[in-house]
Amino acid sequence: MQLALQNGYRVSLLAFTLPGWSKSFETGYVEELGINDTTYLSSGRKPFFPWFLSSILEKASRLTHKFGLRSASVTAMALSKRAWLINRYLKKYKGRPDLIIAHNPPTFYPVAHFAKKNGIKYGIDVEDYHPGEGTDRNLHQYMISLMKMTFPDASYISFAAPLIQEQSVKLLKGHLPGENNLLTINNVFPSSNFSLHGKSGPKNNGKIQFVWFSQNIGPGRGLESLLPAMDHFARNVELTLIGNPVVDFIERWTQDRSYVHVVPPLQASELYGSLSSYDIGLALETISEENRKYCLANKIWAYFQSGLFILASNTPAQEKFLDEFKDHGLICENKEDAYSKAIEWIVGHIVDIRNQKNKRFEEARSTGWENERKKLDSKWRDVLAN
């Protein structure tokens, strides 16, 4: 959205309001961008009738899908009730944009249907390997079918990581636009968001400073294997966890660990401005679903662009990343003994790690959004010109 605004395009945003602590962060960001034409649909039970009807249609679509009624609209509603809510809104929408971008699976069918009905071009932004999200095999099949029905007519498809594109191409062979209309747009940030001198962060007390951040500090994110390993080095390290604390998890896993510090969610500018105060960024992906093999979370890019040394678990995507940027981190298995050996190595090499921070920071600058945006900028110009 920011790129479109910077290029002088008029931007209209259709999104859902999501409950919880992140709502104010998201709406604040949209206001900061200056998007005036914004429509939010409710994702909750108010108003009741749209929620109730969409819930009934979702269940009915899943049932009819089993009996062979598998049109794009039925498949979309079987995947998510939000597809019906978006489609309902678009039926009344009077605008005529030059390009529509679908950002997540519930938008794929409504956007494709509206665009083709009105002779409008559309793009699809694939943020994750969607057929590998979660563990419900029925949802996986709905997702694959929906992608095969909505992707071929897209003007372009962008993927958020190289392996997401690679795996999607293998899966959807014959159901994609031309190869020139497929591109990877990495989830990098503007280099100007980062500096070598953190504006906030931990005090310089000589200890090795580890940092991890996510929306929620909770189970299933690799911390259960990491923390027992860090206990052996408690005198040498400090760990800062940034995010919304899940109370039961915090009480169980951090209460008796004095080297662990919990920080509530930060605005993006404050978070990125503080990262360079740390030594080691933790990218602890667990392979609880297939998507985790292929995605690159925002955090690994943020650590990378801050010049931090990265300790990453051995997902294929993270292995590929640190194989390309060999001096920027260390890969290990998501196991306690593997983390223990990795931390021991870091303790023994911390002087070199700190001395090379400036080099890592400067190398990362060439991969920032300032360069990555050029691919998307060029594709938009091509699409709108033809």
Q: Are residues 176 and 278 in the same domain?
A: no
Sign of the dihedral through C-alpha 34, 198, 186, 369: positive
Can you give the pLDDT at residue 24? 64
Can you give the pLDDT at residue 20? 63
Spatial distance between the Cα atoms of 156 and 379, rounded to a whole number of angstroms:
8
Q: Calculate the average pLDDT of the chain.
A: 94
Q: Are residues 173 and 59 in the same domain?
A: yes
Residue 346 lies in a domain: yes
Can you give the pLDDT at residue 25? 61
Spatial distance between the Cα atoms of 97 and 370, rounded to a whole number of angstroms:
26
Can you give the pLDDT at residue 257? 96
Which tens digit of pLDDT belongs to each residue from 105-132?
A: 999 999 999 999 999 999 999 999 999 9
Question: Domain tally for the chain?
Answer: 2
List average pLDDT for each run of 10 residues in the chain, which is 386 residues long.
88 85 64 81 92 96 94 97 97 95 97 98 98 95 98 98 98 95 96 83 83 95 96 97 96 95 93 95 93 96 98 98 97 97 98 97 95 96 94
Q: Note whether 188 and 215 are within 8 A (CB).
A: no
Q: Are residues 154 and 197 in the same domain?
A: no
How many whole angstroms from its chain centre is CA 93?
A: 29
| DSSP H helices in 2-47 | 2-6, 22-33
Residue 4 lies in a domain: no
Residue 32 lies in a domain: no
Two structure tokens written together for 127: 């943020």
Q: Are residues 160 and 245 in the same domain?
A: no
Residue 26 lies in a domain: no
Q: What is the pTM of this model?
A: 0.92
Q: What percent of the chain has pLDDT over 70?
A: 96
Can you give the pLDDT at residue 201? 67
Q: Are residues 215 and 148 in the same domain?
A: no
Residue 225 lies in a domain: yes
Q: Are residues 205 and 179 in the same domain?
A: no
Q: Are residues 147 and 200 in the same domain?
A: no
Two structure tokens written together for 310: 């990265």
**Measured CA distances, 61 to 31, 55, 75, 147, 148 (Å):** 37, 10, 7, 17, 18
Q: Are residues 168 and 198 in the same domain?
A: no
Which tens digit of pLDDT belongs to each residue from 320-377?
A: 999 999 999 999 999 999 999 999 999 999 999 999 999 999 999 999 999 999 999 9
Residue 139 lies in a domain: yes
Q: Are residues 250 and 341 in the same domain?
A: yes
Q: Are residues 230 and 295 in the same domain?
A: yes
CATH number at residue 242: 3.40.50.2000
Can you give the pLDDT at residue 5? 86
Residue 205 lies in a domain: yes
**Measured CA distances, 254 to 249, 272, 310 (Å):** 8, 24, 22
Spatial distance between the Cα atoms of 189 and 306, rounded to a whole number of angstroms:
10
Residue 319 lies in a domain: yes
- For tokens 């083709």, what's the residue? 116
Q: Are strands 208-217 and 121-126 parallel, antiparallel or unpaired?
A: unpaired
**Measured CA distances, 260 to 252, 254, 265 (Å):** 12, 6, 16
Q: Note whether 117 and 43 are within 8 A (CB).
A: no
Can you give the pLDDT at residue 202? 72
Domain that holds residue 176: 45-188+371-385
Q: Are residues 342 and 379 in the same domain?
A: no
Q: Are residues 145 and 249 in the same domain?
A: no
